[in-house]
């Protein structure tokens, strides 16, 4: 059983509230941090090797050190709680059950960055979580962890929760800042990056909920101790939200040394595929990362066992690998149709595109229409190559990563499951009632303890 850092105390009754959270050792990291130099906190986070948990996996300490510090200009910390990636629901769980860990992490991070006003931008659909967070902030303030002169240190910090209006695009950091400023959530053209010109033109750091929560154990136990957990550049623990065709969907905190096979089949985690079905494919890191067929998911192209961490999941690049992403682990069994699945994702990205730049605005809708026609038995063989060409012309040519996020799932589905697309075209009637099923994606049998 792996070590737990974030969810260790999540099952304690009343941990959502300040009294219990404090009794269980909460806010120790703030006490410690306020006695440290802000730069030493940044160094500690650098030492920990913590990588952004929102999807891109950029080293957090590095991001913090890029923050511009001009005189007389306020700096801001913004927590990105606009968790909207299909298949990802780890941040909601964290905020819902142990909200004080986020607030604690944000106080430490704000102090390290010199921010006196910090924001939590939460997706509009999480309205009840907003209430939980606001209660927690009020509790923290009552107990002197927020407001003026925190714990007699002379440091002031105000924290606000801002609800979005329910747009996936507002999870992109610059669109989030636009929305937070009260404008239309269109991503900004970079450079300048938020570290130089962010919220209201001031230097800003935008971090994911889980990233900021992870600052708490890093400060409590030290960056080096945190870096001991995990393997290589995948340090610490990662929350995985597992869903799809598995026996035990839910949130799991893993230490990134376990194999994908163990994660899916062991009873400690997903508990295998229900009804004796076989594994067909999996999206390991949220809907926008490339889908992998079972054989490439469990073992890399080099024949090594694939592990649940940043390096191993992206081993082989996009040709034979995928990405850790945000940790939204979606499992598909043999009864699932890849074409329908890809269509569903394409529909999502078409719906969520902001419409600012042309490749994404027009391309996402086009891909959705082609996928729907293939799925409903009206596709042509040339449509498959056309889809490939469209995704290629969207990827890398857009303002923000939403274009890439829309292109990758389509590309990966064609790359690995082209035969299934061709079967749809060749069997326009059969594909309406039957599934392609498994052809050559063999399912290795997991043996407990292997």
Q: Could you give the CA distance from residue 100 to residue 15 in angstroms, rounded to a whole number? A: 9
Q: Closest distance between another protein and the C-beta of residue 397, in Å? A: 5
- Chain center to CA of 294: 22
Residue 256 or 402 having the CB closest to another protein: 402
Q: Closest distance between another protein and the C-beta of residue 387, in Å? A: 11
- Cβ within 8 Å of residue 240, ≥6 positions away: 90, 251, 252, 253, 254, 263, 308, 327, 329
Q: Closest distance between another protein and the C-beta of residue 16, in Å? A: 35
| Tokens (6 digits) for 158 | 């105000």
Which of 20, 34, 36, 386 touches another protein (CB under 8 A)? 386
Q: Closest distance between another protein and the C-beta of residue 332, in Å? A: 26
Site for another protein in 266-325 (CB under 8 A): none
State yes or no: cis peptide before 106, omega within 30 of 0: no
> Do 345 and 363 meet the contact criterion of CB atoms below 8 Å apart?
no
Residue 22 or 361 having the CB closest to another protein: 361
Q: Closest distance between another protein and the C-beta of residue 351, in Å? A: 6
Residue 171 or 272 having the CB closest to another protein: 171
Q: Closest distance between another protein and the C-beta of residue 119, in Å? A: 23
Q: Mapping DSSP to helix (H, G, I), strand (E, B) and coil, where does residue 70 land?
A: coil
> Pattern 135-174, binding to another protein, x per CB under 8 A?
--------------------------------x-x-----
Which of 40, 396, 428, 430 touches another protein (CB under 8 A)? 396
Q: Closest distance between another protein and the C-beta of residue 144, in Å? A: 43
Q: Could you give the CA distance from residue 58 to residue 52 in angstroms, rounded to a whole number? A: 5
356 near another protein, rule: CB under 8 A: yes
Residue 58, φ and ψ in degrees, nearest 5: -80, 135
C-alpha dist (Å) from residue 97 to 35, 100, 109, 276, 312: 29, 9, 21, 33, 30
62 near another protein, rule: CB under 8 A: no
399 near another protein, rule: CB under 8 A: yes
Residue 189 or 432 having the CB closest to another protein: 189
> Pattern 178-217, binding to another protein, x per CB under 8 A?
------x----x----------------------------
Residue 217, φ and ψ in degrees, nearest 5: -65, -30
Which of 393, 418, 430, 439 touches another protein (CB under 8 A)? 393
Instruction: Find the part of the chain contacting another protein (CB under 8 A) among 45-53, 209-217, 329-337, 364-372.
Output: 364-372
Which of 122, 398, 424, 436 touches another protein (CB under 8 A)? 398
Instruction: Find the part of the chain contacting another protein (CB under 8 A) among 48-56, 86-94, 235-243, 353-361.
Output: 353-361
Q: Closest distance between another protein and the C-beta of residue 102, in Å? A: 29
Q: What secondary structure does DSSP assign to 233-267, as a single string?
A: TEES-EEEEEEES-SS-EEEEE-S-SBHHHHHHST
> Do 346 and 398 meet the contact criterion of CB atoms below 8 Å apart?
no
Residue 84 or 398 having the CB closest to another protein: 398
> Do 326 and 55 meet the contact criterion of CB atoms below 8 Å apart?
yes
Q: Could you give the CA distance from residue 266 to residue 279 in angstroms, rounded to a whole number? A: 14
Q: How many residues bind another protein (CB under 8 A)?
A: 27
Name beta bridge partners: 244.
Answer: 331
State yes or no: cis peptide before 337, omega within 30 of 0: no
| Tokens (6 digits) for 166 | 């329910």
Which of 134, 268, 362, 422 touches another protein (CB under 8 A)? 362
39 near another protein, rule: CB under 8 A: no
Q: What secondary structure does DSSP assign to 318-352, as a single string?
A: HHH----TT-EEEEEETT--HHHHHHHHHHHHHHH
Q: Closest distance between another protein and the C-beta of residue 376, in Å? A: 13
Q: Closest distance between another protein and the C-beta of residue 189, in Å? A: 4
Interface with another protein by CB under 8 A: which residues? 167, 169, 184, 189, 350-359, 361-366, 369, 386, 393, 396-399
């Amino acid at each position: 059983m792996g070590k737990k850092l974030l969810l260790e105390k999540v099952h304690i009754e009343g941990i959502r509230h300040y009294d219990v959270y404090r009794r269980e050792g909460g806010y120790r990291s703030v006490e410690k941090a306020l006695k440290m130099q802000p730069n030493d906190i940044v160094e500690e986070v650098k030492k920990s090797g913590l990588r952004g948990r929102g999807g891109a996996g950029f080293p957090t300490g590095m991001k913090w050190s890029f923050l511009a510090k001009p005189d007389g200009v306020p700096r801001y910390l913004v927590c990105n709680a606009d968790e909207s990636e299909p298949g990802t629901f780890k941040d909601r769980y964290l905020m819902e059950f142990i909200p004080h860990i986020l607030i604690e992490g944000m106080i430490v991070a704000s102090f390290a960055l010199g921010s006196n006003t910090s924001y939590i931008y939460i997706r509009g659909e999480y309205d009840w979580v907003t209430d939980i967070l606001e209660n927690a902030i009020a509790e923290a303030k009552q107990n002197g962890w927020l407001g003026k002169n925190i714990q007699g240190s002379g440091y002031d910090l105000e924290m606000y929760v801002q609800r979005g209006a329910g747009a996936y695009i507002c999870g992109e950091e610059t669109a989030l800042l636009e929305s937070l400023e009260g404008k239309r959530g269109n991503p900004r053209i970079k450079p300048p990056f938020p570290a130089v010109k962010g919220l209201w033109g001031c230097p800003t750091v935008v971090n994911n909920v889980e990233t900021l929560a992870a600052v708490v154990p890093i400060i409590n136990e030290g960056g080096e101790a945190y870096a001991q957990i995990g393997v290589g550049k995948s340090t610490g623990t990662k929350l995985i939200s597992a869903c799809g065709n598995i026996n035990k969907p839910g949130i799991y905190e893993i230490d990134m040394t376990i194999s994908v096979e163990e994660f899916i089949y062991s009873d400690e985690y997903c508990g295998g595929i229900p009804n004796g079905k076989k594994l067909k494919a999996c999206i390991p890191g949220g809907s926008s990362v490339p889908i992998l067929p079972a054989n490439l998911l469990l073992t890399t192209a080099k024949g090594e066992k694939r592990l649940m961490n940043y390096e191993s999941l992206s081993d082989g690049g996009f040709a034979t690998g995928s990405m850790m992403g945000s940790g939204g682990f979606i499992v598909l069994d043999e009864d699932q149709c890849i074409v329908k699945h890809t269509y569903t994702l394409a529909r999502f990205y078409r719906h969520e595109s902001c419409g600012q730049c042309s490749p994404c605005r027009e391309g996402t809708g086009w891909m959705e229409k082609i996928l729907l026609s293939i799925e409903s038995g009206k596709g042509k063989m040339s449509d498959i190559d056309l889809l490939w060409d469209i995704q290629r012309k969207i990827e890398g040519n857009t303002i923000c990563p939403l274009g890439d996020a829309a292109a990758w799932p389509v590309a990966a589905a064609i790359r690995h499951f082209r035969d299934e697309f061709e079967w749809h075209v060749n069997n326009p009637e059969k594909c309406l009632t039957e599934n392609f099923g498994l052809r050559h994606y063999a399912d290795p049998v997991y043996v407990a303890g292997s």
